[in-house]
Amino acid sequence: MLSNRAIHGEEHRQLRETARRFLASEVAPHFARWEEAGIVDRAMWTKGGEAGLLCPQVGEDYDGAGGDFSMNAVIVEEFAYSGFAGPTSDFSVHSDVCCGYLLSYGTPEQKRRWLPRMVSGEAVCAIAMTEPGTGSDLQGIRTRAVRDGDDYVVTGQKTFISNGQMCDLVIVVARTGDEPGSRGMSLILVETDREGFRRGRNLEKLGQLSADTSELFFDGVRVPATNLLGVEGGAMGALMSELPQERLIIAITSMGAAQKAFDITRDYTRERKAFGKPIADMQNTRYRLADLKTELAVGWAFVDQCLARHVEGKLGQSEASMAKLWTSEMHGRVVDQCLQLFGGYGFMREYEICRLYADARVQRIYGGTSEIMRELISRSL
């Protein structure tokens, strides 16, 4: 289901082939080592940039390919389908999330400084929203950016930050005013070589082991006022504008990974025998696979519909939330049923389905939990 869909053309096919070659030559040989280390090699970023796989939506004025977001989707699909969840998450946060904020809210100078380096992989970007104790409640953040002359002084702590160990630039959600709730929150660009910035530990996770996920500390980090991204007090508006894209890309990731789980399980059931015949010949197995194939077909159709609307600039908060909710929950059901069909071997990490199962669990959490998605959808009833 990854290729030959109506939403894709020749350029998408070529990009898909490039992504597949990159995954085979630059990711697969190193992936097991990266999983053990809990982080990828920095060289993956520059090689990804050389291959044209970073920030493809950036225009030629900033050394990008000038594609639309459907190009990002193709890259994410291929990475997710590869089963290499760590590199998928790393690239996606950089290209599909952080880059969007700079494109939408960056000044010409901010764009000139950062976008070409993000396209090349020279600079890795992270976005720091979550804090200890806040989770999905962004209105509860306590990190502050206090104006002091021509600077902001940033003080606070963030956690669960993707690319935290590798990043050169962090988009920090911080309070710049005393207004309660979402008012008084701004986006501040913080370079990680500034005094007072510290990386905490690389967090140990259930899945996506090679995706570095970190604590970050800002101990009076002084940045120029020109590092304000967008307008002061405009963070929540920017987040609400950009989060539909993030949730759509999570939905696309779930589709690619769920499709991979189904495909390897279908093949395995043709090989595994029980009671003298392949388990694929048993009615229970065939019916389970039929259900999963149907769910995948429905998911691809809805995601493609949402992607087309997003490229047209028409994807709303509710639609993106529905896409993220349904696909991530479906993803969980698919990998659970697939693992079951592997029997005891499915519980062994040497089998890919085991890793796919562990990697899938976070899809229902980050980018807004399933519970938050239901709340957002309910507001549109």
Q: Beta strand 125-128 with 169-175: parallel, antiparallel or unpaired?
A: parallel
Q: Of these residues, 78, 246, 295, 319, which one is catalytic? A: 246
Q: What total of structural domains would you count in the chain? A: 3
pLDDT band at 333 (very low <50, low <70, confident <90, very high): very high
Q: In terms of domains, do 113 and 175 share one?
A: no
Question: Which of these, 42, 87, 46, lies nearest to 253 by C-alpha position?
Answer: 87
Question: Do 204 and 299 fall within a single domain?
Answer: no
With a cut of 80, say whether residue 180 has pLDDT above it.
Answer: no
Q: Looking at the structure, do residues 69 and 170 belong to the same domain, yes or no?
A: no
Residues 154-170 have pLDDT tens digits of: 999 999 999 999 999 99
Residue with token string 């349904």: 326
Q: What is the CATH number of the domain that holds 373?
A: 1.20.140.10
Whole domain around residue 107: which residue ranges? 10-123
Q: Are residues 241 and 373 in the same domain?
A: yes
pLDDT digits (tens, 9 = 90+) for 335-381: 999 999 999 999 999 999 999 999 999 999 999 999 999 999 999 99
Convert the pLDDT of each residue in 367-379 to its tens digit: 999 999 999 999 9
**Does 28 have pLDDT greater than 90?**
yes
Q: Read off the pLDDT of each residue in 195-206 and give the average, rounded to a whole number.
A: 97
Task: Read off the tokens for 345.
Answer: 């071997």
Q: Give the pLDDT band of residue 324 (cuts 50, 70, 90).
A: very high
pLDDT at 174 over 90: yes
Assign residue 225 the CATH number of its domain: 2.40.110.10
In this structure, the answer to whether residues 284 and 369 fall within a common structural domain is yes
Instruction: Name the phi and psi angles at 210, rounded to 5.
Output: -90, 0
With 70 as the cut, is the pLDDT of residue 1 above it? no
Both structure tokens of 332: 């969980």
246 is catalytic: yes
- E strands, the chain, where? 125-128, 144-148, 151-162, 169-175, 185-191, 197-202, 213-224, 228-229, 273-274, 277-278
Of the CA atoms within 13 Å of residue 46, those in its CB half-sphere come to 4
pTM assigned to the model: 0.95
Is 4 inside any structural domain? no
